[in-house]
Amino acid sequence: MAATTATSKVSPVVIGSGRMKSTTYIATKVTGPIKNAAGEETFLPEIIQYDDAKGSGAKTIATRSADTGEITWNDNASNKTKLNASKFKKASNNQMQSIEKELTSTALEKAGLNKASGATNQEVSSNIGNSDTSSASPISSFSGGSPSKAGPHPTRKSYSKSLVYPTTLRTSQQDSLRISVLKYEPRTLGKGAKGKAGLGFADRSPAAGRTIGAVTLPVPGGVQDGNMTSWGNGTMTPLDIATSSAVKSFLGNGSEGGTAAVDSVKQSIQAAKDGGADISKAMENMFTENLTGTKDLLARTEGMVMNPNMELLFQGPQLRPFGFTYRLSPRDESESMVILKIIRMFKQSMAPQKTDSQLFLKAPNTYKLEFVSPRGAKTHRFLPQIKECALENFAVNYTPDGNYMTYDNSSMIAYELTFSFKEIEPIYNNDMDSKDYDIGF
């Protein structure tokens, strides 16, 4: 048969549910048979979308492979249409079957049409004339593996290291945030810097050697850090000073410590004598308070307090928290599966791990957060560096718009992810060099 073109009748495709339910009208136009380089009879299908059931406002939204029947969407197709690809493929298959007699006259031509619909000869021919039967090349509403079986399961030790959202970020020159899942590594006791003997803990091994999963995301809004140290009020009365001075003299002078301590006490007594009436009042009230249990006697009777020698004193470092919020909206089925894997990776990796005996719980995985500049895939100079982190909280809002809405493969139309990380080690001056090349930690 010479090549011809046939277009099916317009049929509706219902997508969504509830308030988001809508109807799209399509037809399938097929051109063929056309011999390919191998001498096989092939057909070229196109999916046409209309504004209504009468066929007005026609526009081509996709073509289909002559060999596999796979759909290639063009810019006329909406994201909602793409996410419901299985319904459109099913409808298109039925439409192709309905015009088979107009296009084919031999077994070879029928085989070519079958390939263009993605089905075998037997499957298509068994459905000819039955427009209510779904395509025999079924499109699963779920992709990415079979449903999980009931636990318990072995501790998961690896995740995908190539997750990217949105998928276009792979080829973009956009700055990004790469979050790597790390195998948690405890620190060895009794080590100093660079593994030397000491009274501290050994450094952990580099994150690169402990990475078991990773995802790359756009840099979120509201990036900020807050470097903090803890300072507090410290006091030391003259009596505290005197006793401390004597003890330090005793402990810090070896075999001469006793003599040094006696000298320190003598110096304190002489200072008390030189204080005159103030010292007498202080001693009188101090001993009275100790003997009677009375509080604040000096303040009540003399309107004075012992000089506390107050000073703001360093008490230690603090750990930095980091919080991020992302809204992820899949634009096609493959992107919805990427989002599913991202959520699953964080949910599973942040959970504690049971030992085989169930006597202990091992620490969850930790995370390396790195802002990356696409220029050479280097660490971003103008955004903060972040030490290894724990994920304290990971929250997912499955209906961020307040309504439950899904696509054809049951994916939500949007997800809101909230991360709460905290560094597992404080920032020290020694962590940064003196070159001022980047912002540092």
Q: How far apart are CA 44 and CA 34, in angstroms?
A: 8
Is omega for the bond preceding 33 within 30 degrees of 0, making it cis? yes
pLDDT at 146: 62
Query: Among residues of the chain, what percentage have pLDDT more than 70?
Result: 81
| Stronger pLDDT, 108 or 370, i.e. the higher one | 370
Q: What is the dihedral of CA 85, 17, 94, 66, to 10 degrees?
A: -10
Lowest model confidence (mean pLDDT) among 250-259, 275-284, 319-328, 342-351: 250-259
Residues 233-292: pLDDT tens digits? 999 887 777 777 767 766 655 555 455 545 555 565 555 555 556 666 776 777 677 777
Q: What is the DSSP letter of 406?
A: B
Is 395 exposed, middle or buried, given 0-12, 13-18 or 19+ CB atoms closer than 10 A? exposed
pLDDT at 145: 56
What pLDDT, on a 0 to 100 scale, did the predictor assign at position 140?
Answer: 37
Give yes or no for residue 134 having a pLDDT over 50: no
Angle formed at CA 210 by CA 435 and CA 345, multiple of 5 degrees: 110
pLDDT of residue 131: 37
Res. 149: pLDDT tops 50:
yes
User: What pLDDT, on a 0 to 100 scale, did the predictor assign at position 379?
Assistant: 87
Mean pLDDT in residue range 97-113 = 89
The answer to whether 29 and 45 are in contact (CB under 8 A) is: yes
pLDDT above 80: residue 320: yes
In this prediction the pTM is 0.64
**Which secondary-structure segment (H or E) carries 342?**
helix 333-349
Does residue 32 or residue 276 have the better pLDDT?
32
Q: 15 pLDDT band (50/70/90 cuts)?
A: confident
Q: List pLDDT tens digits, range 392-428.
A: 999 999 999 888 888 888 899 999 999 999 999 999 9
Q: What is the DSSP string of 114-183?
A: HHHHT--HHHHHTTTT-TTSPPSS---S--SSPPPPPS--PPP----S-EESSGGGGG----EEEEEEE-
Length of the chain measured in residues: 441
Instruction: For the beta carbon of residue 5, count every other beta carbon within 10 angstroms.
Output: 13
- What average pLDDT does the segment 345-357 reach? 94
Give the pLDDT mean for 154-170. 92
DSSP per-residue codes, 38-90: TS-EEEEEEEEEESSTT--S-EEEEEE-TTT--EEE-TTS-HHHHHTHHHHHH
pLDDT in tens, 170-197: 888 889 999 999 999 998 886 666 656 6
pLDDT on residue 143:
46
What radius of gyration, in Å, describes the C-alpha atoms of the chain? 37
In the DSSP assignment, the letter for residue 8 is P
Q: Which pLDDT band holds residue 331 (cuts at 50, 70, 90)? A: confident
Helix axes 107-117, 85-98, angle to 10 degrees: 160
In the numeric block, which tokens belong to residue 300? 């009540």
